[in-house]
Amino acid sequence: MPELERMLSHLGEELAWPRTPDLAASVIERLDEPAAEAPAVGEAPAAGEAAPVPRRRGRFAGLLPPAGLRRSLVLAVVALVLLAGTPFAAVPGVRDAVLDFFGLQGVTVERRETLPTTPPERPLDLGSRTTLADATDRVGFAPLLPDALGEPDGVYVRRGLPGGELSLAYRARAGLPRTRATRLGLLLTEFRGDISPEYLGKIVGPDTTAQRLQIDGRRAIWIAGVPHFFFYRGPDGEFVETSMRIAQNVLLLEHGPLLLRLEGAFDRDQAIRLARSLR
């Protein structure tokens, strides 16, 4: 929707970003705990498609405004409809104008002039702790690991979407500084973005960098600078309030059917190197 994006991009003014909460103490403690088995993840039923709305031609068609004006009115109406219906409209304090909207399979990114209230501090919930071998059997895809880092310090699987969501936790180390939001060096999340097209949501403010990239022919988005909001959507597509948290620098990457999310305190060049090392 390039015309709609251009129209929306002119709205809003910059606002200050809220304080970043500390969320990850429980995950750090759990990295030293033994992994536990968990039942496999089942697939959710696919939602049905809505029937197209037929076009009608009335006898007063000749009284309509000129084509150029009609087009502007249609774009304005479409913008209002999209903003009213989007899951972001359900987020408290985020009903203001959209400055930009884009995304990849599995995630949407929305830039807004006004940001939600900073969520309360909550433990970082990555799902059930497991082993890498068990996770490979449970998720509906072959996990990817960064060659540069080897096997993760913690492996987690979350239920709630087809195939499941795999999270790989890497401790901070030399060359991989600790992230304020997660207290990890790298949090790598993987899931089937082709069958869960809007599972993750991102809300960024005017001062946050959100840049479209191509990494070896794969679409990507780099989000950095001022921290941003991150949340999940439920099976019904609605915003899950308890999932919202503050995130730091993130690289989102399409990799075949997968959506990969790399979160850390690294810069863009290091994030791209990590992404290119995934095997």
- Give me the chain's average pLDDT, please: 78
Residues facing 165 on adjacent strands: 158
Whether residue 214 contacts residue 199, with contact meaning beta carbons closer than 8 Å, is answered with: no
pLDDT over threshold 60, residue 6:
no
pTM of the model: 0.69
Question: Given this model, what pLDDT does residue 31 score?
Answer: 73
- Report pLDDT digits (tens) over 112-136: 998 888 888 888 999 999 999 999 9
Confidence of residue 35 (pLDDT cuts 50, 70, 90): low
Question: Given this model, what pLDDT does residue 26 score?
Answer: 63
Q: Give the pairing type, strands 200-204 and 107-112.
A: parallel
Question: Given this model, what pLDDT does residue 267 score?
Answer: 97
- Report pLDDT digits (tens) over 39-85: 444 444 445 544 444 444 444 344 444 444 444 433 333 433 343 34
Confidence of residue 8 (pLDDT cuts 50, 70, 90): very low
Question: Given this model, what pLDDT does residue 120 score?
Answer: 86
Question: Given this model, what pLDDT does residue 241 score?
Answer: 82
Question: Given this model, what pLDDT does residue 163 score?
Answer: 87
What's the CA gap between 41 and 160, in Å, rounded?
A: 8
Question: Given this model, what pLDDT does residue 131 score?
Answer: 96
Residues of the chain with pLDDT > 90, as a percent, come to: 53
CA distances from 100 to 33, 112, 167, 232, 250 (A): 42, 7, 28, 20, 18
Question: Given this model, what pLDDT does residue 92 score?
Answer: 47
Q: Which residue has the tokens 């903003």?
A: 83
pLDDT over threshold 60, residue 86:
no
- Report pLDDT digits (tens) over 216-239: 999 999 999 999 999 999 887 888
Phi, psi dihedral angles at 17 (to 5 degrees): -90, 140
Mean pLDDT computed over 144-152: 95
Confidence of residue 25 (pLDDT cuts 50, 70, 90): low
Question: Given this model, what pLDDT does residue 227 score?
Answer: 92
Confidence of residue 21 (pLDDT cuts 50, 70, 90): low
Question: Given this model, what pLDDT does residue 247 score?
Answer: 95
Question: Given this model, what pLDDT does residue 34 score?
Answer: 67
What's the CA gap between 63 and 61, in Å, rounded?
A: 5
